Amino acid sequence: MPPNTTNNPGEAGGGGGGEGGGGGGGGNNANGSLVGAGLGPHQHGLQGAAGGGGGGGVTGMTPPPNTGGGAGAGNVLEITSVAEFYRDRNLLITGATGFMGKVLVVKLLRSCPSVGKIYLLMRPKGNKDVPTRLRELLDSHLFKNLRSVSPNIDEKLVAVEGDILLPGLGLSQVDTDILAAEVSVVFHAAATVKFDEAIKLSLQMNVLGTKRMVELCQKMTKLVSVVHVSTAYCNCDRDEVDEQVYPPPSDPYTLLKLLDLMDDDLFNHLTPKLIGNRPNTYTFTKALAEHILVTEAKDLPIAIVRPSIVAAAWREPIPGWVDNFNGATGLIVGAGKGLLRTLHCHQDLVADLIPVDIPINLLIVTACYTALYRQKEMKVYNCVSGMDNPVRWRDIRDHGMVALKNHTPMTDVVWYPSLHFTTSKRLNKVLVLLQHWLPAYIMDIAARVAGKKPIMVRVAQKLDRAAACLEYFTTHEWRFNSDNVHALWAVLPEHDKQTFNFSLSQLDWVTYMHHYCNGTKRFVLKEEDSTIPKSKTHLNKLWWVQQICRMVALLVAWRAVFLRSERARNAFYALLRAFFRLITYLPIVGRI
């Protein structure tokens, strides 16, 4: 940033006025920097007071179309890149120990090395206190190579004890005061992402937790940007989903009042009636949370990012990195182990998978542009793949099976991997009974006879629950509008496109699925690559076992029909006579 524009670069305003100070800048900078718009009510720490200076143009970074200059467009801020925007800026991240949260923290540290402190809202878990959980996070595989880029990582990451389930986010008064005084950018990613979560807990975390976060943000004197992580499926009752907040499926405030009046059992009993045509409590409560933002965060510089089915990393932090069994990962594990044999799925529908690094980069860029070009209406970004680089469930299965059989087979596979999709719910139930439950009971009986612990029925139960949670999404298709995402990408400078890529134009799904399967094996199942040769040998044996079993089954079926039906025997003999008569006409056989 140019000299003498702020007392505290990245936090203060224009023209040497410091935080909220007066004075302003002029037009375009010769260096090719951005001259941004003012931010209205929450402009603290970013710019001078309203009306402090002339208008600005853009040379380095460009405003998205229809920004209208935002409130107080006379104010200026010169920024040469997204990373520069984060220089010395203090952030707050909720959900930092989750899948997306971890990738967000790593990306910020790696690509914005001059970022200020990153406060992580964390709660004690089990017998582990917050410092212990932070230490485990820093010692994890994902953070191993970061110290060469960000050597002072221990100083930048600050764990703050809190819990979105508690009033005031469970923060002490001291921590509340610190966050209110120092934080200028907030990423709210904390939520329960379990599709079958009890509705009371889902309301408490996804709706009430969001309301509490808004209340904290309203106390922040330097706040310039808030990004809320939602889901593209919060409006899954619609075939076409635009980048807007739709009317809520129920009144969230009425439901929040009922939290203290109704127990868990009554809530669970009423769940089907409450969620209506939503498939689960997750999509239902995320829609309610967006309405909370519309009603309570009008004065905040806030945006919503809606990812679709978040999957393993494409490029960053490590190709194929994933750390949970959610979504498609659970299907990969089940199929790779030979346990998942059939699935109710329309294979020609679009599977709207999105690699985790795509929404993470979009979050970071969105926070920057929300601060620089605030608009009157809250911006929504549908972060999806189906409209730009679609992949179908059939392709996910086929590419995945090639990887699981030929490249990265898993250890302890119980049966040769094969996954059948059917559009018939009834047929799928029959196949599940024959291919999942029957083998599970047989193997558990054998385990008991051998004096071992039976586990396969429990595994089958988990598979059944996972398949049931995904069924709605494997049997439906949506058209998501992503004009705002495209507009943001169009104005992003080329160097920022390289660093914070959220375009899927270069993604090859075959290569991606190979990395996804390998990442599932390495990071979720903790299986080393050194096990691959032995696993391939084991798979080869299972293939022969499968062929032998098929031949035996055919012989048994043939024998049962052949012995009981004279018509079947006559037909069989007629086919044999026809076959031998046919081969006598072949040139070589005819000369014998």
Q: What is the pLDDT of residues 537-590, one digit of tens each?
A: 999 998 888 888 888 877 777 777 666 777 777 777 787 777 777 766 655 444
C-alpha gyration radius of the chain: 29
Task: Measure the CA–CA gap between 523 and 517, rounded to whole angstroms.
Answer: 10
DSSP summary character for residue 410: P
Mean pLDDT by 10 residues, the chain (592 residues): 37 36 37 36 36 36 54 44 93 95 95 94 92 91 80 89 94 96 96 88 95 96 96 95 94 91 88 91 95 93 96 95 91 94 95 96 96 87 94 96 94 92 94 92 91 91 90 95 94 93 95 96 93 92 86 77 71 75 59 48
- Cα 99–chain centre separation: 7
Geometric angle at alpha carbon 101, from 100 and 107, rounded to 5°: 90
Token code pair at residue 539: 């798979």
Q: State the number of CA atoms in the 13 A half-sphere of 17 facing the CB.
A: 23
Task: Measure the CA–CA gap between 268 and 238, rounded to whole angstroms.
Answer: 25
Q: What does the pLDDT read at residue 75? A: 34
Q: Minimal CA–CA distance to 67: which of 491, 412, 464, 420?
A: 491
| Neighbour count for residue 253 (Cβ, 10 Å) | 15
Q: What does the pLDDT read at residue 143? A: 86
Q: Minimal CA–CA distance to 339: which of 218, 456, 227?
A: 456
Token code pair at residue 384: 């999806």
Q: E strands, 464-521, where?
A: 479-480
Q: Minimal CA–CA distance to 423: which of 463, 460, 476?
A: 476
Token code pair at residue 538: 């084991």
Task: Measure the CA–CA gap between 498 and 552, rounded to whole angstroms.
Answer: 57
pLDDT digits (tens, 9 = 90+) for 251-296: 999 999 998 888 888 988 899 999 998 999 999 999 999 999 999 9
Q: What does the pLDDT read at residue 408? A: 93
DSSP summary character for residue 38: P
Give the ranges where 326-424 is alpha helix by DSSP (H): 328-336, 357-372, 393-402
Q: What does the pLDDT read at residue 76? A: 32
